[in-house]
Amino acid sequence: MKNNNEIIHEKFESIIQSDWLSIDMTAGNGRDTYFLAQKSKHVFTIDIQEVAINKTKELTKDFDNITYIHDDHQNINNYVKPYVNLIIYNLGYLPGGNKKIKTTKDSTLISLSKAHQLLKINSYLIITCYPGHPGGSQETEAVKLWINHKKEKQQYEVETLHYPTKNSPISFICKRIAM
């Protein structure tokens, strides 16, 4: 059975175009950034932890189309101007790192509002949430509410990837259809 990352990377592959600008809002160990760098024109990748940015730099050292940003993704608008084609979030904590440093409901919601301002029509916002860790289910519910609100305003079409159990990751593939 494919894992969540493989399913999401297949999804990226089916939509991404070589002239796209993309943002990885949670660089982590750099695997998503690596994938985006292979497939798109330029990638901005941000993480609140220097160790994550260093791991991402190491993994992607052969690419010259990446801007690395060590900051909170609530500040993404200080580094990237509208518009981009794809923004991804892989929420939670750094695998193999400090589990106390993780995305939170509040910081994620502020960051999502910044991301929304950077997205143009026919662009994508892809968010993977992890309800299984402490604070994760509240964050997942907050993200769902945020997405539902945008959907009601007919700004996004949304596909949800469900996984087998209550604590499995859940991914939202949101296509912007109106400003």
Ligand X SMILES: C[S@@+](CC[C@H](N)C(=O)[O-])C[C@H]1O[C@@H](n2cnc3c(N)ncnc32)[C@H](O)[C@@H]1O
**52 is an interface residue for ligand X by CB under 6 A:** yes
Q: Among candidates 104, 128, 109, which has minimal Cα distance to 6?
A: 128
Give the residues across from 176 on adjacent strands. Answer: 156
**45 is an interface residue for ligand X by CB under 6 A:** no
**32 is an interface residue for ligand X by CB under 6 A:** yes
Q: Among candidates 160, 120, 155, which has minimal Cα distance to 140?
A: 160
Task: Tell the residue number behind the tokens 């700004």, with chain if given.
Answer: 155
Nearer to ligand X among residue 75 and residue 151 (C-beta)? 75
What span, in angstroms and rounded, lies between the C-alpha atoms of 73 and 8? Answer: 21
Q: Residue 116: in which H helix or E strand, if any? A: helix 105-118
Nearer to ligand X among residue 29 and residue 171 (C-beta)? 29
**9 is an interface residue for ligand X by CB under 6 A:** no
Give the residues across from 24 on adjacent strands. Answer: 45, 88
Which span (79-87, 99-107, 112-120, 139-147) binds ligand X, by CB under 6 A?
Answer: 99-107
CB 84 within 8 A of CB 21: yes
3-state secondary structure at position 99: coil
3-state secondary structure at position 177: coil
**139 is an interface residue for ligand X by CB under 6 A:** no
Least distance from C-beta 137 to ligand X, angstroms?
Answer: 16
Which span (7-15, 89-97, 143-151, 164-172) binds ligand X, by CB under 6 A?
Answer: 89-97
Selected binder of ligand X within 48, 118, 119, 125 (CB under 6 A): 48
Least distance from C-beta 175 to ligand X, angstroms?
Answer: 21
Selected binder of ligand X within 39, 42, 102, 176 (CB under 6 A): 102
Kindly list the residues in this chain that would bind ligand X in the complex (CB under 6 A): 26, 28-32, 46-49, 52, 72-73, 90, 92-94, 101-103, 107
